[in-house]
């Protein structure tokens, strides 16, 4: 078995070098499609990542309470909101605490607030959502309490971001599926051409008394090798491009979205798995499927 | 021994071989002659189990080869050396590798291959072409490679389908000498040919096929119609 593998590997390497034209054609088509795949993959991953960031930032709802609401009543409202599925936690923020935070955010200019004789800030409840989609519902429930004066959350902004990102993710998925189908077709055609060119060769081997696996083995390994090499090339190119892009966009991304691109290590690691699996299986399946009908001599 | 017992083969409705019965002993040299489309190639394809008969049995070495399963065919073919009019060498392999391939197919150890292949090349007188590719050598030389490959595993039978068809007179005779030499060592040779002069001069058994039927089977001489 092992010597058979070694034999196949040796023959495959020799064949790849002697059939330069076909090898390079398959290599290019697989690499090209993997690169396009990488483009959409990193794009989608980044969109998802950004969406998560946005969700984290905007998943807080603030409910302002009337001045007359007692602390006890405030806690009652808090606990009934907390029992909702969409709610992660509820925190009661008395007006004094709110003022402190307010002063903190003013920093060096906080002394200006010292002139206030009365605290104008209301008591409030800070609601952390577990599911940002449930924001509207929680807000509505909040309005339902007589002690709640106003509810504030970034519904429109969040809705917009969610809508855009879901459209982007869905269309990227469609494009990726489409790409995989197209690339499988392109690759299987390339392999079919290779096998067609080898049809006579296969026939001759069968005349000499070669078993199907003896013929198939080296071609199978050849397909896998070409797939692997393409995967390696595509991975190298996309890794370099992504790292450059990440470095180049770092400052712009920070100011715009308060975050950077998804870590290149994460993206490259995942691309490596995807490319390896795709490259090898496309190469191997391509050779097996397209060889099948020529082996019947 | 090769036996055909009332073998009939038809493609669609066209009968290409009808009720053929013949017996070829071990060590024989047999010509199969007849006009184009007479059924000669069908006969060869039947022996190499490329096709199966519709009726009758083909028995090689006491074994009915119609019964062979697909898995048994490769091993069966290894005892038959095939030589073709168009040589059928593997274009991407060198002369040496083409001959070595026949040994690799039967899983010969590397050492044996390295020892045997040069001997085979020397036998057909092309040892200096070992590193050439098929398209770099002449037709006669290619046929020599094909013969070296055919005898690489000491087959009991050599089936040659118009082996001199693409060669000029002198080269053709050189190839015939080789086949005769192989036959002298005890290998059965079955050769399909159109070349009347070769059949005449070789003076061996001649089976004539016409219209899918065996119309004559004589020892020696010239039965070409």
For chain A, 297 residues long, give each residue's pLDDT as a single digit of tens: 456 777 778 887 887 777 777 778 878 888 888 888 888 888 888 888 887 777 776 778 888 888 888 888 888 888 888 888 888 888 888 888 888 877 776 767 777 777 777 788 888 888 888 777 777 788 888 888 888 888 887 767 777 777 888 888 888 888 888 877 776 676 667 667 766 777 777 888 888 888 888 887 887 788 788 888 889 999 999 999 988 888 888 777 666 666 677 888 888 888 899 888 887 877 777 667 666 666 654
All CATH 3.40.50.300 domain ranges of chain B, comma separated, are 1-79+156-225
In chain B, residues with a C-beta closer than 8 Å to the C-beta of A206 are: 74, 77
For B9-21, what is the mean pLDDT? Answer: 90
pLDDT score of A155: 67
8 Å CB contact of A209 and B74:
yes
Interface with A, mutate which of B91, B120, B153 (most A CBs under 10 A): B91
Q: How far is A17 from chain B (nearest CA, A)?
A: 10
Q: How far is B106 from chain A (nearest CA, A)?
A: 8
In chain B, residues with a C-beta closer than 8 Å to the C-beta of A18 are: 92
Nearest one of A297, A17, A206, A291 to B102, comparing CA atoms: A206
8 Å CB contact of A214 and B149:
no
pLDDT score of A145: 83
Q: How far is B42 from chain A (nearest CA, A)?
A: 14
Helices A264-292 and A212-257, packing angle to 10 deg: 150
8 Å CB contact of B89 and A204:
yes
- From CA B32, how far away is CA B46, in angstroms rounded? 14
8 Å CB contact of B76 and A209:
yes
The minimal CB distance from A208 to the residues B50, B76, B101 is found for B101
In chain A, residues with a C-beta closer than 8 Å to the C-beta of B102 are: 208-209
What are B115's two structure tokens? 């020892």
Instruction: Annotate B76-111 with b (16+ C-beta within 10 A) or e (fewer).
Output: bbbebbbbbbebbbbebbbbbbbbbbbbbbbebeee
What are A47's two structure tokens? 């969109």
Q: How far is B155 from chain A (nearest CA, A)?
A: 11
**Residue with tokens 């060869």, as numbered in its chain:** B44
Residue A84 DSSP SS3:
coil
Residue A129 DSSP SS3:
strand
In chain B, residues with a C-beta closer than 8 Å to the C-beta of A208 are: 77-78, 82, 101-102, 105, 149
In chain B, residues with a C-beta closer than 8 Å to the C-beta of A200 are: 88
Nearest one of A35, A52, A23, A72 to A258, comparing CA atoms: A52
pLDDT score of A51: 79
- From CA B190, how far away is CA B47, in angstroms rounded? 10
Q: How far is B223 from chain A (nearest CA, A)?
A: 30
8 Å CB contact of A214 and B105:
yes
Q: Which of A105-109, A207-211, B19-23, B84-88 has the lowest mean pLDDT?
A: A105-109
8 Å CB contact of A204 and B88:
yes
DSSP characters over A29-42: HHHHHHHHHHHHHH
- Between B15 and A279, the more confident residue is B15
pLDDT score of A226: 83
8 Å CB contact of B102 and A200:
no
Helices B139-150 and B169-184, packing angle to 10 deg: 10
Q: Which of A156-165, A260-269, B40-49, B65-74 has the lowest mean pLDDT?
A: A156-165
pLDDT score of B154: 92
Q: Which residue of chain B has the CA closest to A214?
A: B105
CA atoms within 13 A on the CB side of A67: 4
The minimal CB distance from B90 to the residues A204, A211, A297 is found for A204
pLDDT score of A67: 83
In chain B, residues with a C-beta closer than 8 Å to the C-beta of A196 are: none
Interface with A, mutate which of B49, B52, B68, B77 (most A CBs under 10 A): B77
* CATH fold of the domain at B1-79+156-225: Rossmann fold (3.40.50)
- Between B127 and A126, the more confident residue is B127
Query: What strand order describes the sheet that includes B205-210?
Result: B80-84, B157-161, B188-192, B29-33, B205-210, B213-218
For B148-167, what is the mean pLDDT? Answer: 93
Nearest one of B73, B76, B121, B61 to B96, comparing CA atoms: B121
- From CA A85, how far away is CA A96, in angstroms rounded? 30
Nearest one of A256, A248, A257 to A53, comparing CA atoms: A257
For B153-164, what is the mean pLDDT? Answer: 94
Q: Is the dihedral of CA B117, B123, B127, B132 positive or negative?
A: negative
pLDDT score of A1: 45
pLDDT score of A79: 84
In chain A, residues with a C-beta closer than 8 Å to the C-beta of B155 are: none
Q: Which of A141-150, A188-197, B120-129, B156-165 has the lowest mean pLDDT?
A: A188-197
Interface of A to B at Cβ within 8 Å reads: 7, 15, 18-19, 200-201, 203-211, 214, 297
In chain B, residues with a C-beta closer than 8 Å to the C-beta of A8 are: none
ipTM score: 0.81
Among 3.40.50.720, 3.90.1150.10, 3.30.70.3040, 3.90.380.10, what is the CATH number of A59-153? 3.30.70.3040
What are the backbone dihedrals phi and psi of residue B9, each rounded to the nearest 5 degrees, phi first? -135, 130
Instruction: Give the C-alpha distances (Å, rounded to integers) separating B186 from A264, B25, B82.
Output: 71, 11, 16
Q: How far is B115 from chain A (nearest CA, A)?
A: 18
In chain A, residues with a C-beta closer than 8 Å to the C-beta of B91 are: 201
The alpha carbon of B225 is separated from its chain's Cα centroid by a whole number of angstroms, namely 22
What are A210's two structure tokens? 């070669």
What are A39's two structure tokens? 């483009």
pLDDT score of B222: 59
All CATH 3.30.70.3040 domain ranges of chain A, comma separated, are 59-153
- Between A67 and B179, the more confident residue is B179
**Residue with tokens 């209301």, as numbered in its chain:** A122
pLDDT score of B223: 52
For B84-100, what is the mean pLDDT? Answer: 92
Interface with B, mutate which of A208, A218, A296 (most B CBs under 10 A): A208
pLDDT score of B97: 94
Is the distance from CB of A26 to CB of A239 less than 8 angstroms? Answer: no
**Alpha helix (H) ranges present in B61-217?**
73-77, 95-105, 110-123, 139-150, 169-184, 196-202
Interface with B, mutate which of A198, A209, A292 (most B CBs under 10 A): A209
Residues 6+ apart with CB under 8 A from B44: B32, B159, B161, B190, B192
Q: How many CB pairs under 8 A join A and B?
A: 47
């Amino acid at each position: 078995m092992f010597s058979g593998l070694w034999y196949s590997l040796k023959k495959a390497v020799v064949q790849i070098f002697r059939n330069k034209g076909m090898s390079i054609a398959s290599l290019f088509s697989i690499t090209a499609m993997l690169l396009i795949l990488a483009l959409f993959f990193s794009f989608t991953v980044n969109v998802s990542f950004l969406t998560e960031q946005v969700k984290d930032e905007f998943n807080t709802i603030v409910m302002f309470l009337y001045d007359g609401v007692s602390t006890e009543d405030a806690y009652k409202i808090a606990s009934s909101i907390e029992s909702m599925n969409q709610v992660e936690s509820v925190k009661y923020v008395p007006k004094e605490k709110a003022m402190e935070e307010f002063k903190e955010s003013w920093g060096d200019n906080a002394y200006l607030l010292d002139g206030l004789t009365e605290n104008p800030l209301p008591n409030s409840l800070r609601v952390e959502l577990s599911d940002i989609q449930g924001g509207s519902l929680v807000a509505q429930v909040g309005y339902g309490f007589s002690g709640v004066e106003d509810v504030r959350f970034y519904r429109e902004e969040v809705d917009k971001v969610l809508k855009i990102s879901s459209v982007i993710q869905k269309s990227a998925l469609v494009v990726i599926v489409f790409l995989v189908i197209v690339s499988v077709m392109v690759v299987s055609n390339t392999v079919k051409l290779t096998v067609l060119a080898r049809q006579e060769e296969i026939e001759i081997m069968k005349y000499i008394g070669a078993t199907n696996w003896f013929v198939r083995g080296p071609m199978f390994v050849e397909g896998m090798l070409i797939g692997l090499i393409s995967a390696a090339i595509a991975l190298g190119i996309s890794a370099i491009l992504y790292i450059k892009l990440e470095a180049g966009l770092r400052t712009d991304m920070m100011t715009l979205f308060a975050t950077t691109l998804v870590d290149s290590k994460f993206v490259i690691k995942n691309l490596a798995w995807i490319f390896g699996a795709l490259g090898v299986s496309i190469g191997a399946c391509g050779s097996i499927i397209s060889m099948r009908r020529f082996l019947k001599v | 021994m090769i036996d055909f017992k009332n073998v009939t083969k038809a493609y669609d409705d066209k009968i290409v071989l009808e009720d053929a019965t013949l017996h070829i002993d071990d060590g024989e040299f047999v010509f199969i002659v007849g006009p184009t489309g007479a059924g000669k190639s069908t006969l060869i394809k039947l022996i190499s189990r490329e096709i199966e008969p519709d009726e009758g049995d083909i028995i090689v070495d006491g074994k009915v080869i119609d019964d062979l399963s697909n898995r048994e065919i490769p091993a069966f073919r290894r005892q038959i050396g095939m030589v073709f009019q168009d040589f059928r060498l593997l274009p991407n392999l060198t002369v040496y590798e083409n001959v070595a391939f026949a040994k690799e197919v039967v899983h010969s150890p590397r050492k044996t291959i390295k020892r045997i292949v040069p001997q085979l090349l020397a036998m057909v007188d092309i040892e200096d072409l070992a590193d050439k590719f098929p398209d770099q050598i002449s037709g006669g030389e290619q046929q020599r490679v094909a013969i070296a490959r055919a005898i690489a595993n000491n087959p009991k039978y050599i089936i040659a389908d118009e082996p001199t068809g693409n060669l000029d007179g002198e080269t053709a005779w050189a190839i015939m000498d080789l086949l005769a030499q192989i036959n002298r060592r005890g290998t059965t040779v079955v050769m399909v040919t159109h070349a009347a002069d070769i059949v005449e001069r070789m003076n061996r058994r001649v089976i004539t096929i016409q219209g899918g039927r065996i119309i004559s089977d004589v020892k020696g001489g010239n039965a070409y119609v």
